């Protein structure tokens, strides 16, 4: 699971792998909802929209070792949209970085699972994040440092689409292109919603494809819930050299994906499910 | 020995020296390498130097990433941009995860001079001091900064070190001892203590001479580490001299004067006068003109010392 051997199937994702990943993503969604419901606080919509990509990353794409979280040659993942932490924590626990029971401590006093990712508190977390707009800069810095060390590790960073309203993102986009950080791959969780409503109504960010292209990036647009598209897109960075063009995957996703009555609704951005919603959601997910 | 030295110039030279033996050192700048003096590093170590262009927020985040990859980033730009423009990035990406990033901000205070308010920075010490994990240091001369840089390099964690555009007098001999968190008495005295940092240390030494001619014995303390501040030294000065004047090229709100008052008011209250910039924006002028204009001279420190002595006598 999730080691170098498991990630050699570039371009050829086996059907049995995909059905395994789908099942993992289903369990991840159950974990996400359970931990947020238990915390009675957290970001439901954006954690669910990221769940399939997070599953692909941690169970197929990333070269990492849960037994050695600080292994120097590992690929890095930075969750710039730090409010999606429940998805990341679920992935880390399901991979074995820590016990699944710990998920129930999310957002509680003295927990290792803070409301937003904390590199010093949680095994497997590579960067502190949560204040939007900063993660791509951090990923760039990691890639620069790894390159100086002569390592071939890939650095993945997940951005929210609303987050792209932060100017620092575009500063960092320039940096990655200027310094030819070919090992950097940004993933935009393009669910189209932010706290106050639709991204296009709050502050339009389109045309996204053209913007990233103009900033000098390789751009791919995919369905962020289809593993047959997600995996080759995310693995394409493995063929890049450390001095190539950086890559971005614009993943079209659905906020609240997997729970019919959450899907596509901005109001579930930052609220925990009620008891009734939780029961109903679990039923839908077969939990 | 030279009479004056620029702390920023010595920073640039020392960074190169340190980087020759420590390959983990990298440097970042935001299009001001000719002013911050990281250009010296860029020339000798082009592969380890990253000019980030005019984008300080991205620079701080990138430095965080480099530190997470095991590097020791020295990050430089003007103090107004390092501490001001990128404050939240410094807090979130560097200080909260306690990363090994050394921010060496140049052009601190008002002695940037002619560029005026937009480029002067009189709030940085206050806003850096309130960030947990952050060590805040201001060298008193071009000799001390060498030792400060060595100490910072040998101490894991985030640092904010302020340098100046203006050259100011050399106080210390080469190899002066510096310890993080320890102030130093640079002039013995018994009637009053003047606690200063940065270029105000040399002004305070001049003030002590002026006071001596009036029969007043002033102790002068170089408090180059603003945070963690040397509480023991402040309290022994309060006990032994019974009156304190602070002097800084910074707003009177939030910096050294505030920090000293916090310590003594909770532990051993004695009269204090603060020398610093009043709650105001300054204006363009030469560094020397501005120090005169805003009351940051030896004569101002001496006058404040006499005032606080009157208070001290009144209390007796």
| DSSP bridge pairs for B76 | B29
Q: Is A6 a residue whose pLDDT tops 80?
A: no
Q: Is A11 a residue whose pLDDT tops 80?
A: no
Low-confidence ranges of chain B (pLDDT < 70): 1-2, 316
With CA atoms as reference, the chain A residue closest to B95 would be A128
Nearest 5°: the CA angle A135, A65, A79 is 15
The model's confidence at residue A168, banded by pLDDT at 50, 70 and 90, is: very high
The minimum CA-CA distance between A57 and chain B, rounded to whole Å, is 20
The minimum CA-CA distance between A19 and chain B, rounded to whole Å, is 35
Distance CA B302, CA B39 (A): 39
Residue for token pair 């002595």: B309
Residues of A in contact with B98 (CB under 8 A): 120
- The DSSP letter of residue B109 is B
pLDDT of res. A287: 81
What the block records as the tokens of B104 is 């060496």
Distance CA A165, CA A157 (A): 16
The DSSP annotation for A179-232 comes to TT-TTEEEEEEE-SEETTEEHHHHS----HHHHHHHTT-EEEEEETT-HHHHHH
- Find out whether B78 and B111 touch, Cβ atoms under 8 Å: no
Give residue A211's Cα distance to chain centre: 21
pLDDT of res. B189: 98
Which ranges in chain B belong to alpha helices (H)? Answer: 7-21, 33-36, 39-44, 56-68, 79, 87-89, 124-129, 144-153, 200-212, 231-241, 256-267, 287-293, 298-315
pLDDT tens, position by position, A118-137? 999 999 999 999 999 999 99
pLDDT tens, position by position, A247-275? 999 999 999 999 999 999 998 888 999 99
Distance CA A90, CA A270 (A): 17
pLDDT of res. B316: 66
Any CB–CB contact under 8 A between B52 and chain A?
A: yes
Distance CA A278, CA A41 (A): 13
Q: Per the CB < 8 Å rule, is B68 touching A167?
A: no
Positions of B marked catalytic: 56
Residues of A in contact with B58 (CB under 8 A): 137, 140, 168, 171-172, 174-175
Mean of pLDDT over chain B:
97
Positive or negative torsion for Cα A190, A193, A194, A199: positive
Distance CA A251, CA A157 (A): 13
Q: Per the CB < 8 Å rule, is A128 touching B65?
A: no
pLDDT of res. A3: 43
Region of residue A184 (left: phi > 0; alpha: psi -120 to 50; beta: else): beta
Distance CA A279, CA A272 (A): 13
Whose CA is closest to A59, among A21, A15, A89, A32? A21
Any CB–CB contact under 8 A between B31 and chain A?
A: no
> What phi, psi does A185 have (nearest 5°)?
-125, 120
pLDDT of res. B315: 77
> What phi, psi does B184 have (nearest 5°)?
-140, 135
Any CB–CB contact under 8 A between B310 and chain A?
A: no
Taking the model in full, what pTM does it have?
A: 0.96
The A-side interface with B (CB below 8 A) comprises 72, 118-120, 126-128, 130-131, 133-146, 148-149, 167-168, 171-172, 174-175, 178-179
Peptide linkage before A71 cis (omega within 30 of 0):
no
Q: What mean pLDDT comes out for the span A214-224?
A: 98
Distance CA B150, CA B40 (A): 18
With CA atoms as reference, the chain B residue closest to A139 would be B65
Distance CA A174, CA A181 (A): 10
Stated length of chain B: 316
The minimum CA-CA distance between A192 and chain B, rounded to whole Å, is 25
What the block records as the tokens of A180 is 């030819």
The model's confidence at residue A1, banded by pLDDT at 50, 70 and 90, is: very low
What the block records as the tokens of A272 is 């925990």
What ipTM goes with this model?
Answer: 0.95
Q: Is A10 a residue whose pLDDT tops 80?
A: no
Q: What mean pLDDT comes out for the span A135-163?
A: 98
Cross-chain CB nearest to A120 (options B57, B58, B97): B97
pLDDT of res. A15: 84
């Amino acid at each position: 699971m999730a080691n170098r051997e498991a990630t050699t199937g570039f371009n050829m994702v086996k059907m049995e792998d995909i059905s395994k990943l789908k099942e993992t993503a289903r369990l991840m969604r159950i974990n996400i909802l359970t931990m947020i419901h238990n915390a009675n606080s957290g970001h439901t919509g954006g954690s669910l929209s990221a769940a399939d990509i997070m599953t692909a990353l941690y169970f197929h794409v990333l070269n990492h070792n849960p037994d050695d979280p600080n292994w120097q040659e590992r690929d890095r993942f930075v969750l710039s949209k730090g409010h999606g932490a429940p998805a990341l924590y679920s992935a880390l626990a399901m991979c074995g970085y820590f016990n699944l029971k710990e998920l129930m401590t999310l957002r509680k006093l003295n927990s290792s699972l803070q409301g937003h990712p904390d590199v010093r508190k949680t095994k497997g977390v590579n960067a502190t994040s949560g204040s939007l707009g900063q993660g791509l800069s951090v990923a760039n810095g990691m890639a620069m440092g790894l390159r100086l060390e002569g390592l071939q590790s890939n650095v993945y960073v997940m951005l929210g689409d609303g987050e792209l309203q932060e100017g620092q993102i575009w500063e960092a986009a320039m940096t990655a292109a200027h310094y030819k950080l070919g090992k950097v791959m940004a993933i935009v969780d393009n669910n189209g919603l932010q706290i106050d409503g639709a991204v296009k109504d709050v502050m339009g960010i389109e045309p996204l494809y053209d913007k990233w292209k103009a900033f000098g990036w390789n751009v791919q647009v995919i369905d962020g819930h289809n593993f047959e598209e997600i995996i080759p897109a995310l693995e394409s960075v493995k063929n890049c050299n450390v001095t190539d063009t950086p890559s971005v995957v614009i993943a079209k996703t659905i906020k609240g994906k997997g729970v019919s009555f959450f899907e596509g609704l901005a109001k579930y951005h930052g609220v925990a499910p009620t008891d009734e919603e939780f029961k109903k959601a679990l039923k839908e997910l077969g939990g | 020995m030279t009479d004056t030295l620029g702390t920023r110039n010595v920073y640039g030279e020392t960074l190169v020296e340190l980087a020759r033996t420590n390959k983990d050192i990298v440097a970042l700048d935001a299009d001001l390498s000719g002013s911050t003096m990281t250009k010296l590093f860029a020339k000798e170590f082009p592969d380890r130097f990253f000019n980030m262009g005019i984008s300080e927020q991205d620079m701080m985040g990138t430095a965080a990433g480099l530190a997470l990859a095991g590097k020791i980033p020295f990050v430089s730009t003007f103090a107004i941009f390092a501490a001001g423009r990128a404050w939240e990035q410094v807090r979130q990406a560097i200080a909260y995860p306690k990363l090994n990033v050394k921010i060496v901000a140049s052009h601190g205070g008002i002695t940037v001079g002619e560029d005026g308010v937009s480029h002067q920075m009189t709030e940085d010490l206050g806003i850096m001091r309130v960030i947990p994990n952050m060590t805040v240091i201001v060298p008193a001369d071009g000799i001390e900064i060498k030792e400060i840089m060595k100490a910072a390099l040998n101490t894991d964690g985030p640092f904010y070190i302020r340098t100046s555009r203006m050259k100011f007098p050399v106080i210390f001999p080469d190899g002066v001892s510096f310890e993080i968190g320890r102030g130093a008495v640079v002039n013995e005295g018994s009637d009053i203590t003047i606690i200063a940092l940065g270029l105000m240390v040399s002004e305070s030494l001049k003030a002590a001479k002026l006071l001596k001619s009036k029969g007043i014995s002033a102790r002068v303390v170089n408090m180059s580490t603003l945070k963690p501040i040397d509480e023991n030294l402040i309290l022994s000065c309060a006990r032994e001299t019974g009156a304190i004047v602070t002097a800084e090229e910074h707003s009177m709100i939030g910096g050294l004067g505030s920090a000293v008052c916090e310590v003594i008011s909770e532990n051993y209250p004695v009269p204090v006068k603060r020398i610093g910039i009043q709650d105001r924006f300054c204006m363009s002028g030469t560094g020397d003109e501005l120090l005169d204009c805003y009351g940051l001279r030896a004569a101002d420190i001496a006058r404040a010392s006499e005032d606080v002595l009157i208070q001290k006598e009144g209390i007796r």
